[in-house]
Amino acid sequence: MSDYKSGTKCIQSGYIPENGELRTLPIYQGTTYKYNSGDHLASLFNLENAGHMYTRISNPTVAFVEDKINDLEGGVGALCTSSGQAASLIAVLNITSSGQNIVCLSNLYGGTTNLFSVTFKKMGIEARFVNPSMSDEEIGSYFDEHTRLVFAETIANPSLDVLDIGRFSKIAHSHSVPLFVDNTFATPILCRPIEHGADIIIHSSSKYMDGHATVIGGVIIDGGKFDWAQSGKYPEFTNSDPSYHGVKYSEQFGSAAFIVKARVQLMRDLGSSPQPLSAFLLNLGLETLALRIIRHSENAYLVAKFLSEHEKVSWVTYPGLSSDKNYTLAQRYLLNGYSSGVVSFGVKGGKEVAMKCMDALRLAAIVVHVADARTSVLHPASTTHRQLTHEQLKDAGISEDFIRLSVGIEDISDILADLKQALDSL
């Protein structure tokens, strides 16, 4: 890990050119690598030497971007995936199989909730949902000897609950399991969960990291602090892997056992790898991440303040507002309390008026996406979270009048004027 500040890492980490080499990240567009001897290639397949074998498993352009993100999060290794969903899938499957269970926060992103509660169920993995308002004791009652991990989001999408990372890391560790944190909304600029006790980080890089709504992607970062061998619960790290001639991940790869296994076993088998060109595009986004996320946060704060003072608005949630229930946690865990660009609010009159309000916006577009440079809006209950039951919606903190506003980096006066004309038209 370099000693540079995050803003410098965004630009300088990862690819470091040698004398006379290309100054910017080269695109290694290809599937295949060449070796001088069969023995050398055999040693790669035996995991005795590090090197690229096949782009499904690793690629130089992708590896440079992985190094940059790893450096930003302060981990021991990262693995880029074809989407955020693939990152969650691979991260959880790396230590969870049929007959086991995971403990998750109930306010997760709708896609993650579907993956965990429907698809994992078919695979024999049970997701047990807990609410942050429960006591430690009550949450503790959801664990048993088959529990493998705790999964939560730093800033939940879209309820915007801020995770008490220290508390949930203590709860997870007291049951000898790791804490997985989806850090998509906060980004490593606003929060580095590993420093607060999280073990494995995942991101949808399709959001602020890319930042321009151009490329789907995900990433897993290994904090390297969880001792898989010591805990005694994870034989997959201490026993031989028959698919690699008996390699023992903890013995051979030490603190990076988790991320090496995720790559050479699950990425090899599942194949949800990113394209080199996608990694290049993601890297362009990462170069300005530190600048953009501050501007998103500053704009969103002013939007939240404006909405909270508007007579047609019934409620506003934004962790950066001093009146917000998540304000204290935001101040504790997020850089200067900056809370990203997502604001949620309701309008007086419920769902019908909420839809009218969205239709009346001109600058802010109705899109499924969040967290990119352009201001956008969405009604989660009828779209991204439509598949959830009424009960799940309530648990995820989504009401019928809930509008999710993703505040972009346009000039704030134009964003405010657009909201004002839409609300005034109701």
- Minimum CB separation of residue 424 from ligand PLP in Å reads 31
Compare residues 186 and 353 and give the one whose CB is closer to ligand PLP.
186
Distance CA 379, CA 386 (A): 10
Q: Is the peptide bond before 158 cis (omega within 30 degrees of 0)?
A: yes
User: Encoding tokens for residue 395?
Assistant: 């648990």
Contact 85, 216 (CB under 8 A): no
Could you tell me which of 339, 312, 322 has the C-alpha nearest to residue 401?
312
Cβ closest to ligand PLP, residue 281 vs residue 313: 281
Q: Which of 395, 322, 319 is nearest to 164 (CA)?
A: 319
CB of 298 to ligand PLP, least distance (A): 21
**Contact positions vs ligand PLP (CB under 6 A):** 83-85, 109, 111-112, 153, 157, 182, 184, 204, 206-207, 216, 218
Give the shortest CB-266-to-ligand PLP separation in angstroms: 16
Please state, in angstroms and rounded to a whole number, the distance separating the CA atoms of residues 154 and 147: 21
Q: Which is nearer to ligand PLP, 257 or 381 (CB)?
A: 381
Nearer to ligand PLP, 15 or 109 (CB): 109
User: From the CB of 357, what's the least distance to ligand PLP, in Å?
Assistant: 23
Q: From the CB of 133, what's the least distance to ligand PLP, in Å?
A: 20
Least separation, in Å, of the C-beta of 411 and ligand PLP?
26
Q: Closest separation between CB of residue 216 and ligand PLP, Å? A: 5
Pick the closer one to ligand PLP by CB: 85 or 376: 85
Nearer to ligand PLP, 162 or 247 (CB): 162
Contact 111, 87 (CB under 8 A): no
Helices (H), 288-407: 289-308, 327-333, 350-360, 390-395
Question: Given the complex with ligand PLP, which of 231 and 275 has the nearer CB atom?
Answer: 275
Q: Which is nearer to ligand PLP, 14 or 84 (CB)?
A: 84
d(CA 163, CA 97): 26
Minimal distance in Å, beta carbon 155 to ligand PLP?
A: 8
Nearest residue to 132 via CA among 171, 100, 158: 171
The smaller minimum CB distance to ligand PLP, of residues 257 and 373, is found at 373
Under a CB-based contact definition with an 8 Å cutoff, are residues 57 and 47 in contact?
A: no
| CB proximity list for 2: less than 8 A, separation 6 or greater | 9, 12, 13, 71
Residue 219 sits at φ, ψ, to 5 deg, of: -155, 145
Angle, helices 60-73/276-287, rounded to nearest 10 degrees: 30
Q: Which residue is nearest to ligand PLP (CB)?
A: 84
End-to-end Cα distance, the chain: 52
CB of 202 to ligand PLP, least distance (A): 8
Residues 92-119 as b or e (16 or more Cβ within 10 Å = b): bbbbbeeebbbbbbbbbbbbbbbbbbee
Instruction: Please state the φ and ψ torsions of residue 404, each to the nearest 5 degrees.
Output: -100, 120
